[in-house]
Amino acid sequence: MATEGEKVQVKLLGATLSPFVVRVRIALALKGIDYEFIQEHSMHLKSELLLKSNPVHKKVPVLIHNGKPVCESMIIVQYIEEAWCNKAPNLMPEDPYDRANARFWAAFVDDKLFPCLRGVFTGQGEQLQKAVEDSVTNILLIEEALRTNHCFAGKAYFGGDQIGLIDIALGGLSAFIKSLEKATDSVLIDPEKMPLLTAWMDRFFKSDGVKEVMPDVAKQAEFISTRRASMISPPTN
């Protein structure tokens, strides 16, 4: 993070428990980029800076680099890679096919897996059960990719020996997934059925640049439980 008195050229608007904000914080940490973190404290009372910086979606994360805002977590991560391409590690593969493969699986996490996880977050009863089943189905596809996809099979991370784009896309959600399991008494990542993914997640959580910004699972589970309770509470007069 930036030290006092240092001119800050990079700002991040976010919330510490947001898995999408976590993605950006991991990328910034891995690249060793100093930044000012500006906490958005409420989903309903959005700051003027946030509304000005992201007038379309009005949500975090937003990276502001030299006064210019960049929105959407995975777009921001790729922007960080391109804007600081001279800083190690490389978050994207150099090979065009491997790069396309990384983008495919990062998109899979957002387009296929996350909607199911959101269903776990909001669901009750049969809806919750269906969302858990759908989540597990998609997570099993990731487990199979870890076993068979030549781009990352047998490697420590999806990015190879170092954390890369897919690691950040999925890893940013990993604390959220663990918290969902705790808050809903569900099993989304079964160590017996998903040994490769379980081992990857353990390594990811302990990695430098990750462990420092990852939300506390207990606190996030408490937040999720509170939100879920408010969804089913009857209206008051």
pLDDT of residue 233: 53
- Domain C-terminal end among 84, 104, 132: 84
186 and 109 share a domain? yes
Beta-ladder partners of 68: 65
**Rounded CA separation 109/144 (Å):** 14
Residue 191, domain CATH:
1.20.1050.10
100, two tokens = 């396309």
pLDDT tens per residue, range 138-161: 999 999 999 999 999 999 999 999
17, two tokens = 């428990």
Domain that holds residue 39: 10-84
Cβ pair 28, 210 in contact under 8 A: no
For 65, the enclosing helix (H) or strand (E) is strand 62-65
* For range 202-231, the mean pLDDT: 95
Residue 25, domain CATH:
3.40.30.10
**Rounded CA separation 35/26 (Å):** 12
State percent of the chain over pLDDT 90: 91
Asked whether residue 40 is domain-assigned, the answer is yes
pLDDT of residue 42: 76
172 and 114 share a domain? yes
Residue type, 172: G
105 and 39 share a domain? no
pLDDT of residue 41: 84
**List of residues 6+ apart from 124 with CB closer than 8 A:** 228, 231, 232
52, two tokens = 């000005």
* For range 49-77, the mean pLDDT: 97
104 and 199 share a domain? yes
pLDDT of residue 8: 57
When divided into structural domains, the chain yields a total of 2
Residue 37: phi, psi to the nearest 5? -95, 120
pLDDT of residue 57: 96
* For range 201-225, the mean pLDDT: 96
pLDDT of residue 190: 98
What is the model's pTM? 0.93
- Domain C-terminal end among 84, 109, 135: 84
43, pLDDT greater than 80: no
172 and 218 share a domain? yes
**Rounded CA separation 128/126 (Å):** 5
Cβ pair 19, 224 in contact under 8 A: no
Asked whether residue 62 is domain-assigned, the answer is yes
pLDDT of residue 4: 46
33 and 56 share a domain? yes
Estimate the share of the chain in helix, then strand, then coil, as percent rounded to the nearest 5.
Answer: 55, 10, 40
148, two tokens = 């068979």
Quickly state the pLDDT bin for 44 (edges 50, 70, 90): confident
pLDDT tens per residue, range 88-120: 999 999 999 999 999 999 999 999 999 999 999
* For range 13-39, the mean pLDDT: 97
Cβ pair 203, 159 in contact under 8 A: no
CA–CA distances in Å: residue 153 to residues 80, 110, 144, 147, 174: 26, 21, 9, 5, 20
